[in-house]
């Protein structure tokens, strides 16, 4: 998460989401721990771990914190078959010069190489992108590795968005970070046109398979509404915390009812929104308050997500017992 650059008024949110939609979203919310009643006869397809927003850095013993999280996941008695990351692997590369970005990526890659033996799939976050804020990062944009290339290289990904199958489910990893059209040094949430068309094709080719989206910025979340209200009592939601192309993404999901679940990070908060047949889960943060302790209700943790053959989903948020270091 990052300070919002562009803002959407509450009126705009209601217009974008539709007043009825917003009400349904509110009424469908439940907090962490509360789960819908179990569905009889369903069978678990796969258990995955979702660890988002580790924000690794040399300070505050974050390297040991990430290792503690990875060990905790792997020591579960009912061990997940797959590890999904949720982006913001590094504290920040967006506003940092090469040396600092490079150092953090080296720490991240070493941690996963040395401390994890689960199959892992990575999703990019805003802080993973090197140098988009050219002023602060002192970059020009022509450096090797600039932008998303550094994270793709370090995570050995060909593209920032891709899909795969596991445990009878189809997984779609989305790249939710776009350049802010009003500020070339900033970002907003959503999909660019090329990725959107790819997603349309990928969903069309997998119509009969229960599908999960993995995204850094939430497609839908109520945590984003837990925000400052200005002097006119107008709620401001930044384009940096939600998909700015929500209307077309919503339509695409409605046309593809096999999409059952969306996992997100970015907010360092825990929420669950049931809307139009899709379960949207925002899954806290490994680093909680960026390694400074709890952030609202969120301690340092990760989510265990059980996906069932009937398309239903259960999530538990697991804190790994980290105590913030000075």
CB of 126 to Zn ion, least distance (A): 5
Nearer to Zn ion, 186 or 311 (CB): 186
CB of 85 to Zn ion, least distance (A): 12
Instruction: Look at strands 211-214 and 169-173 and give their pairing.
Output: parallel
Q: How many CA atoms lie within 13 A of 224 on its CB side?
A: 34
CA dihedral 299→304→308→314, nearest 10 degrees, is -20
CB of 175 to Zn ion, least distance (A): 13
Closest residue to bound Zn ion by CB = 266
CB of 192 to Zn ion, least distance (A): 17
- By CB under 5 A, what part of segment 209-268 binds Zn ion? 266
Stretch that binds Zn ion, among 87-95, 137-145, 223-231, 234-242 (CB under 5 A): 87-95
Write down the residue that tokens 């959407």 correspond to: 8
Stretch that binds Zn ion, among 30-38, 57-65, 122-130, 273-281 (CB under 5 A): 122-130
Nearer to Zn ion, 50 or 266 (CB): 266
Adjacent-strand bridge partners of 121: 84
Adjacent-strand bridge partners of 13: none
* Phi, psi for residue 200 in degrees, rounded to 5: -55, -45
Q: Is residue 125 within the footprint of Zn ion (CB under 5 A)?
A: yes
Contact 68, 320 (CB under 8 A): yes
- The CA distance from 74 to 174, in Å, is 25
Count of other CB atoms within 10 angstroms of residue 106: 13
Stretch that binds Zn ion, among 89-97, 112-120, 123-131, 229-237 (CB under 5 A): 123-131
Nearer to Zn ion, 125 or 239 (CB): 125
Count of other CB atoms within 10 angstroms of residue 35: 13
Contact 308, 45 (CB under 8 A): yes
In degrees, to the nearest 5, what angle opens at C-alpha 22 toward C-alphas 6 and 264?
Answer: 60
CB of 239 to Zn ion, least distance (A): 13
Residue of the chain from 16, 57, 85, 126 that contacts Zn ion (CB under 5 A): 126
CB of 201 to Zn ion, least distance (A): 27
Site string for Zn ion, 38-77 (x = CB under 5 A): ----------------------------------------
What is the total count of residues that contact Zn ion (CB under 5 A)? Answer: 5
Which residues of the chain form contacts with Zn ion (CB under 5 A)?
1, 88, 125-126, 266
């Amino acid at each position: 998460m990052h300070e919002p650059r562009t803002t959407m008024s509450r009126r705009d949110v209601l217009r974008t989401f539709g007043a009825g939609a917003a009400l349904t979203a509110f009424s469908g919310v439940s907090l962490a721990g509360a789960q819908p009643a179990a569905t009889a006869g369903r069978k678990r397809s796969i258990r995955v771990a979702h660890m988002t927003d580790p924000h690794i850095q040399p300070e505050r013993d974050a390297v040991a914190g990430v290792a503690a999280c990875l060990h905790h996941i792997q020591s579960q008695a009912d061990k997940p078959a797959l590890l999904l990351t949720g982006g913001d692997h590094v504290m920040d590369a967006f506003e940092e010069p090469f040396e600092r970005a490079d150092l953090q990526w080296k720490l991240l890659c070493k941690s996963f190489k040395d401390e994890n033996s689960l199959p892992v799939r990575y999703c990019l976050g805003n802080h993973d992108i090197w140098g988009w804020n050219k002023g602060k990062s002192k970059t020009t944009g022509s450096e090797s590795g600039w932008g998303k290339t550094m994270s793709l290289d370090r995570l050995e990904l060909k593209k920032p968005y891709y899909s795969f199958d596991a445990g009878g489910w189809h997984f779609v990893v989305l790249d939710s970070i776009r350049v802010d059209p009003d500020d070339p040094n900033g970002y907003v949430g959503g999909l660019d046109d090329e990725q959107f068309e790819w997603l349309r094709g990928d969903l069309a080719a997998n119509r009969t398979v229960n599908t999960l989206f993995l995204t850094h910025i939430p497609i839908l979340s109520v945590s984003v509404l837990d925000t400052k209200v200005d002097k006119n009592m107008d709620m401001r939601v930044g384009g940096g915390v939600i998909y700015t192309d929500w209307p077309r993404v919503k339509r695409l999901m409605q046309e593809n009812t096999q999409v059952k679940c969306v996992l997100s990070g970015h907010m360092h908060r825990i929420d669950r929104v049931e809307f139009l047949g899709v379960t949207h889960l925002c899954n806290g943060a490994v680093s909680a308050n960026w390694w400074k302790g709890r952030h609202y209700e969120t301690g340092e943790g990760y989510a265990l997500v059980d996906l069932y053959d009937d398309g239903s989903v259960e999530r538990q948020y697991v804190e790994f017992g980290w105590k913030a270091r000075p």
